[in-house]
A and B are shown apart, each in its own frame.
Chain A
Amino acid sequence: MTLILSVFQAVLIAGFAPAVSWFIKKMKAVSQNRVGPRFFQVYFDLIKLFRKGMVISGTASWVFHAAPYVFFGGTIAAALMLPVIWKGALCGFMGDAILFVYLLALGRFFLVLAALDTGTAFGGMGSSREMFLSSLAEPALLLSFFSIGFHTKTLSLTGMMSVLAADSPHRVIFFVSLAFGAVLILAIAESGRIPVDNPATHLELTMVHEAMVLEYSGRYLALLEWGHQIKQLLFLTLLANLFFPWGIPDTFNAVPIVLSLLLYAGKIAVAAWVIGWIEIHFAKLRLFRVPDFLAVAFVLALLSFLGQLMVGRGA
Chain B
Amino acid sequence: MKQVLDEVRGQLGGLIGKIWEEPGNRLCVLADKKSVVPVVRSLIEKLGMRFVFLFATDERKILGAFLIHYVFLRQAEGVFVTVKTEVRENDPVFPSVTPYVPQANWQEREIQDLFGLVAGGHPDPRRLVFHEDWPGSLHPLRKDFALPENLPRTGREYVFDRVEGDGVFEIPVGPVHAGIIEPGHFRFSSAGESILKLEIRHFYKHKGIEKLGEGKSPEDLILLAERVSGDNSLSHATACAQALESLSGLEIPPRARFIRVVLLELERLYNHVSDISGIALDVGFGFGAGQLTRIKEYLMRLNERVTGSRFLRSAVVPGGVRKDLSVSGKIFLADETKKIKKDFDEVIQIFWNVNSLVDRIRSTGVIKREVAEALAGVGPVARASGIDRDLRRDLSYAAYGNLLFMVPVFTEGDVESRMRVRIQEVHESFKLIHEALELMPEGAFRTDQKPLMPGRNALGCVESPRGECFHWIMTDGEGKITRWKIHSPSFVNWPLIEHAVLENIVPDFPLINKSMNLSYSGNDR
Q: Which residues of A contact B (CB under 8 A)?
A: 28, 31-34, 121, 124-125, 128, 194-195, 198, 200-206, 279-289
How many angstroms from the CA of A227 to the CA of B505 in the assembled complex?
Answer: 30
- Chain B 105-137 per-residue mask, 1 if CB under 8 angstroms from chain A, else 0: 000000000000000000000000000000000
Which listed segment binds A: B95-103, B216-224, B356-364?
B356-364
Interchain Cβ contacts under 8 Å between A and B, 23 examples: A31-B286, A31-B287, A32-B289, A32-B291, A33-B291, A121-B172, A121-B173, A125-B171, A125-B506, A194-B284, A195-B356, A200-B284, A201-B284, A202-B178, A205-B507, A282-B285, A283-B354, A283-B356, A283-B360, A284-B283, A284-B360, A285-B359, A287-B193
Point out the residues of chain B lying under 8 angstroms from A31, CB to CB. 286-287, 290
Would you call A195 and B284 a contact (CB within 8 A)? yes
Give residues 477-525 of B contacting A (CB, 8 Å): 505-511
Would you call B171 and A121 a contact (CB within 8 A)? yes
Point out the residues of chain A lying under 8 angstroms from B510, CB to CB. 203, 205-206
Would you call A283 and B283 a contact (CB within 8 A)? yes
Q: Shortest beta-carbon distance, A125 to chain B, in Å?
A: 7
Closest to B286 in A: A28
Report if B468 contacts A (CB, 8 A): no
Closest to A286 in B: B360
Would you call B508 and A286 a contact (CB within 8 A)? yes
Select one of B177, B287, B294, B507 contacting A280, CB under 8 A.
B287
Point out the residues of chain B lying under 8 angstroms from A203, CB to CB. 178-179, 282, 510
In the A-B complex, the 9 residue pairs with the smallest Cβ-Cβ separation, listed nearest first, are A32-B290, A284-B284, A283-B285, A198-B284, A202-B179, A203-B510, A283-B357, A283-B283, A206-B507
- Among B179, B356, B508, residue most surrounded by chain A Cβ atoms (within 10 Å): B356
How many angstroms from the CA of A201 to the CA of B291 in the assembled complex?
Answer: 17
Point out the residues of chain B lying under 8 angstroms from A201, CB to CB. 282, 284
Q: Shortest beta-carbon distance, B477 to chain A, in Å?
A: 52
Point out the residues of chain B lying under 8 angstroms from A121, CB to CB. 171-173
Closest to B360 in A: A283
How many angstroms from the CA of A280 to the CA of B356 in the assembled complex?
Answer: 12
Would you call A33 and B359 a contact (CB within 8 A)? no
Point out the residues of chain A lying under 8 angstroms from B294, CB to CB. 32-33
- Among B173, B284, B290, residue most surrounded by chain A Cβ atoms (within 10 Å): B284
A283 and B284 contact, Cβ closer than 8 Å, known pairs A125-B171, A202-B179: yes
How many angstroms from the CA of A128 to the CA of B194 in the assembled complex?
Answer: 13
Closest to A193 in B: B284
A285 and B356 contact, Cβ closer than 8 Å, known pairs A125-B506, A201-B284: yes
How many angstroms from the CA of A284 to the CA of B282 in the assembled complex?
Answer: 9
How many angstroms from the CA of A198 to the CA of B360 in the assembled complex?
Answer: 14
Would you call B173 and A286 a contact (CB within 8 A)? no
Give residues 428-477 of B contacting A (CB, 8 Å): none
How many angstroms from the CA of A125 to the CA of B282 in the assembled complex?
Answer: 18
Would you call B290 and A33 a contact (CB within 8 A)? yes
Give residues 178-218 of B contacting A (CB, 8 Å): 178-179, 192-193
Q: Shortest beta-carbon distance, B178 to chain A, in Å?
A: 5
Q: Which residues of B contact A (CB under 8 A)?
A: 169, 171-173, 177-179, 192-193, 280, 282-287, 289-291, 293-294, 354, 356-357, 359-360, 505-511
Closest to B174 in A: A204
How many angstroms from the CA of A286 to the CA of B285 in the assembled complex?
Answer: 13
How many angstroms from the CA of A283 to the CA of B283 in the assembled complex?
Answer: 6
How many angstroms from the CA of A286 to the CA of B356 in the assembled complex?
Answer: 9
How many angstroms from the CA of A28 to the CA of B285 in the assembled complex?
Answer: 10
How many angstroms from the CA of A200 to the CA of B356 in the assembled complex?
Answer: 18
Q: Shortest beta-carbon distance, B62 to chain A, in Å?
A: 51
Would you call A204 and B357 a contact (CB within 8 A)? no
Would you call B359 and A32 a contact (CB within 8 A)? no
Closest to B281 in A: A201
A282 and B193 contact, Cβ closer than 8 Å, known pairs A202-B179, A203-B178, A204-B178: no
Closest to A32 in B: B290
Point out the residues of chain B lying under 8 angstroms from A288, CB to CB. 193, 505
Closest to A279 in B: B286
A205 and B506 contact, Cβ closer than 8 Å, known pairs A282-B354, A282-B356: yes
Closest to B186 in A: A205
Point out the residues of chain B lying under 8 angstroms from A281, CB to CB. 287, 354
- Among B291, B357, B510, residue most surrounded by chain A Cβ atoms (within 10 Å): B510
Q: A200-B286, A203-B178, A203-B282 are in contact. List 8 more A-B contacts (CB 8 A).
A: A124-B169, A125-B506, A198-B284, A283-B354, A285-B360, A286-B505, A286-B508, A289-B359
Point out the residues of chain A lying under 8 angstroms from B360, CB to CB. 283-286
Point out the residues of chain A lying under 8 angstroms from B357, CB to CB. 283
Q: Shortest beta-carbon distance, B373 to chain A, in Å?
A: 28
Q: Shortest beta-carbon distance, A282 to chain B, in Å?
A: 5
How many angstroms from the CA of A195 to the CA of B357 in the assembled complex?
Answer: 10
How many angstroms from the CA of A287 to the CA of B509 in the assembled complex?
Answer: 12
How many angstroms from the CA of A178 to the CA of B192 in the assembled complex?
Answer: 34
A286 and B172 contact, Cβ closer than 8 Å, known pairs A31-B286, A31-B287, A205-B509: no
Point out the residues of chain B lying under 8 angstroms from A204, CB to CB. 173, 177-178
Point out the residues of chain B lying under 8 angstroms from A283, CB to CB. 280, 283-285, 354, 356-357, 359-360
Point out the residues of chain B lying under 8 angstroms from A287, CB to CB. 193, 505, 507-508
Point out the residues of chain A lying under 8 angstroms from B283, CB to CB. 283-284
Would you call B286 and A280 a contact (CB within 8 A)? yes
- Among A206, A279, A280, A289, residue most surrounded by chain B Cβ atoms (within 10 Å): A206
How many angstroms from the CA of A202 to the CA of B360 in the assembled complex?
Answer: 18
How many angstroms from the CA of A203 to the CA of B422 in the assembled complex?
Answer: 23
Point out the residues of chain B lying under 8 angstroms from A200, CB to CB. 284, 286
Q: Shortest beta-carbon distance, B51 to chain A, in Å?
A: 34
Closest to A289 in B: B359
Closest to B177 in A: A204
Would you call B179 and A34 a contact (CB within 8 A)? no
- Among A28, A125, A205, A288, residue most surrounded by chain B Cβ atoms (within 10 Å): A205
Point out the residues of chain B lying under 8 angstroms from A198, CB to CB. 284
Q: Shortest beta-carbon distance, B511 to chain A, in Å?
A: 8
Point out the residues of chain A lying under 8 angstroms from B178, CB to CB. 202-204
Select one of A194, A206, A286 contacting B359, CB under 8 A.
A286
How many angstroms from the CA of A31 to the CA of B509 in the assembled complex?
Answer: 27
How many angstroms from the CA of A128 to the CA of B171 in the assembled complex?
Answer: 14
Point out the residues of chain A lying under 8 angstroms from B177, CB to CB. 204
- Among A31, A195, A204, A287, residue most surrounded by chain B Cβ atoms (within 10 Å): A204
- Among B177, B285, B289, residue most surrounded by chain A Cβ atoms (within 10 Å): B285
How many angstroms from the CA of A200 to the CA of B284 in the assembled complex?
Answer: 8
How many angstroms from the CA of A117 to the CA of B397 in the assembled complex?
Answer: 58
Closest to B288 in A: A283
Point out the residues of chain A lying under 8 angstroms from B285, CB to CB. 282-284
Point out the residues of chain A lying under 8 angstroms from B172, CB to CB. 121
Point out the residues of chain A lying under 8 angstroms from B173, CB to CB. 121, 204-205
Closest to A203 in B: B510
Closest to A204 in B: B178
How many angstroms from the CA of A34 to the CA of B287 in the assembled complex?
Answer: 10
How many angstroms from the CA of A98 to the CA of B461 in the assembled complex?
Answer: 68
Point out the residues of chain A lying under 8 angstroms from B356, CB to CB. 195, 282-285
Q: Shortest beta-carbon distance, B197 to chain A, in Å?
A: 15
Point out the residues of chain B lying under 8 angstroms from A284, CB to CB. 283-285, 356, 360
Point out the residues of chain A lying under 8 angstroms from B359, CB to CB. 283, 285-286, 289
How many angstroms from the CA of A68 to the CA of B522 in the assembled complex?
Answer: 43
How many angstroms from the CA of A288 to the CA of B194 in the assembled complex?
Answer: 11
